[in-house]
Structure 1
């Protein structure tokens, strides 16, 4: 079997994913000076489908600002704290978290992004701040944290999870559809 090689790009300098420069604005928002983004300190407080999440962001007014939006996948990924050894994988010194346990797929801490998943226009990307649940195949009954905190996966934008269950011999992701939201805006 032929396995093609991969290309490597070498870079010099020191950099880290962990150079966030958070400022608590004391008004329900946090600014990351390293990215120029302002975030809602609290999550949405409840789960919602993607269409509801867009509406929630569009109607949000916080700290005198009304230009809140869903973050794109790259922006949301910047909040993942990969150095944490417990859940949630976000800096809880600055960000508030609604759930108090992260033990099963029902506790999934998935956050919607504004990013539609490629050619699959009925799905949108989420980023997980706890486990990223999958099972061995569609016949299996037990879910495992196969992808880990910070994983980017996708969910259908609306509907019922049972509408989207597919037969698969490969891993089958947990379908939530109702996910969390953390608002963002450009700090300017």
Structure 2
């Protein structure tokens, strides 16, 4: 019986080490504390900032050292400088060959929200890492369909990082291709 408990303990320790060493959640960027116990007080999470978190590969892509995801840095450079319908955005990502890679996809909403720096707006992500589109009021698609409204998909506004849903069959948004992650 002790042998089985020992194996379980080792699996748990191994899993905790994997979680800790494979990155974590980024900080929100809130520096000012407005009340005891808010995020400005604790400032938890992985440090924000281009030099600490994102690595520019010099080929139009950046790697997020927290999530391990590779993102397209400049949408226009990759041929994604226009808005598109959700279904077209999925196909465009799936068929993208860029920077020597052909396994691009549309990010899910959690991946897309992971690049938001809540200490910024216009854009809500580091413009030294990602080249913002001129139109900050058109959101970026995610691949995540809204459960309560299946015609909708979750999106992120680049202006302030606001998460909302837009209509998959009729609305047009930008898309920020990503590759990597865990299945």
Residues 38 and 89 (structure 1 numbering): CA distance in 2 closer, same or farther, change over 3 Å?
same
- TM-score normalised according to structure 1 size: 0.66
Counterpart-to-counterpart distance in 2, 1:56 and 1:18: 32
Matches within 5 A, 1:145-156: 149-156=160-167
Q: Does 1:117 align with 2:165?
A: no
Equivalent position of 1:98 in the other structure: 133
Deviation for aligned residue 1:91: 0.7
Greater fraction strand: 1
Q: How many residues align?
A: 134
Q: Answer yes or no: is the 8 Å Cα contact 1:19–1:34 preserved in 2.
A: no
Cα offset, 1:89, TM superposition: 1.1
Give the Cα separation in 2 of the matches to 1:183 and 1:152. 18
- d(CA) in 2 for partners of 1:129, 1:156: 18
Unaligned runs of 5+ in 1: 1-12, 103-107, 131-148, 160-176
Structure 1 ranges of 4+ moved more than 3 A: 17-20
- The partner residue of 2:122 within 83, 87, 106 is 87
Q: Would the alpha carbon gap of residues 98 and 150 (structure 1) be closer, same or farther in structure 2, given more than 3 Å must change?
A: closer
Query: CA RMSD, aligned part only?
Result: 2.0
Q: What displacement does 1:157 show?
A: 0.5
Q: What runs of 5+ residues in structure 2 fail to find an aligned partner?
A: 1-41
Residue 172 of structure 1 aligns with which residue?
A: none
SS at match of 2:84: coil
Which structure carries more relative contact order (alpha carbon 8 Å, separation 6+)? 1
Q: Where does residue 61 of structure 1 map in the other structure?
A: 97
Pick the structure with greater CA Rg: 2
Q: CA separation of 1:127/1:18 partners in 2, compared to 1, >3 Å: closer, same or farther?
A: farther
- SS across alignment from 1:31: strand
